[in-house]
Homo-oligomer: A and B are copies of this chain.
Amino acid sequence: MSKPAARTRLADAAFALFDERGYEQTTVDDIAERAGVGRTTFFRHYRSKEDVIFPDHDRLLEQIKDRLATSSHETALAAVSDAVRLVLLHYLEEGDLARRRYRLTSKVAALRDREIASVARYQRLFREFIANWMGDSTESASLRAELMAASVVAAHNHVLRRWLRGESPDPVAEVDEAMREVLALFRGPQSRPETRDGGTTVVAFRTGQDLDALLPALRRLVEGEPGDA
């Protein structure tokens, strides 16, 4: 019964001590001692003192990679949304632990930086996936992929932080809505709310350009596909 503990006891001891004395004021020896194990054992379970706070970013990264990999060109955006939801759900499952971590990262600069570095890895994953999805290897597409990935991650973090602060009763719904907003942003100017919900589409002309030149744009507008209309 006291066997499966080891790793768990270390994490518990760490969080408790960080709460009591603060992060910098707690040494690895302190943690090991309270957990009733040797110092060596600590480093066998966690690569560093910071690691005890962020256990399984690597595993989560793999999950995201897998989710993105199992998607076709048509379902790419759905896969992105799914992947984001996956990350959020991971935090939600942690429950109070995630909130304790949030309190720590809010106070301790070193931990905040570490968290940010992790987020950057997610962003990189999304950026590569989106760029690949766009196919188009022009500089403009590359920038667009970068912006989109940044927005996707920002949207997730926004909702996550709201939940961590206790400001969001239904974060899953919120993140879905936020993702819709992000995807709408990048669908291009030609896809508008009225177009989507079947309410109304408005088109006004102001002369000054050859009408023929406008036809392709008009077509894209009506069909709601990407491109500058």
Contacts and interface: CB of A to CB of B under 8 A. Distances in A.
Main SS of the interface on chain A? Answer: helix
Interface in A74-127: 112-114, 116-117, 120
Interface centre among A114, A140, A147 (most CB of B within 10 A): A147
A118 to B, nearest CB: 9
Given A189-B192, A201-B206, A143 B116 contact: no
Interface residues on A, range: 35 or more
A222 B199 contact: no
Contacts of A181: 140, 143-144, 147
Contacts of A4: none
A222 B193 contact: no
> What is the count of identical protomers in the complex?
2
B189 A202 contact: no
A205 B200 CA distance: 6
A35 interface: no
A166 interface: no
B147 A151 contact: yes
Nearest to A182: B147
A50 B190 CA distance: 47
A204 B223 CA distance: 13
B229 A202 contact: yes
A228 interface: yes
A172 interface: no
Given A113-B114, A194-B217, A199-B206, 18 more contacts: A113-B116, A144-B181, A146-B157, A146-B158, A147-B158, A150-B153, A150-B154, A189-B191, A198-B208, A199-B208, A200-B206, A200-B207, A201-B204, A201-B206, A202-B214, A202-B217, A202-B229, A204-B221
Give 8 nearest A-B pairs by CB, closest first. A203-B204, A150-B154, A113-B117, A202-B203, A203-B203, A150-B150, A201-B206, A199-B209
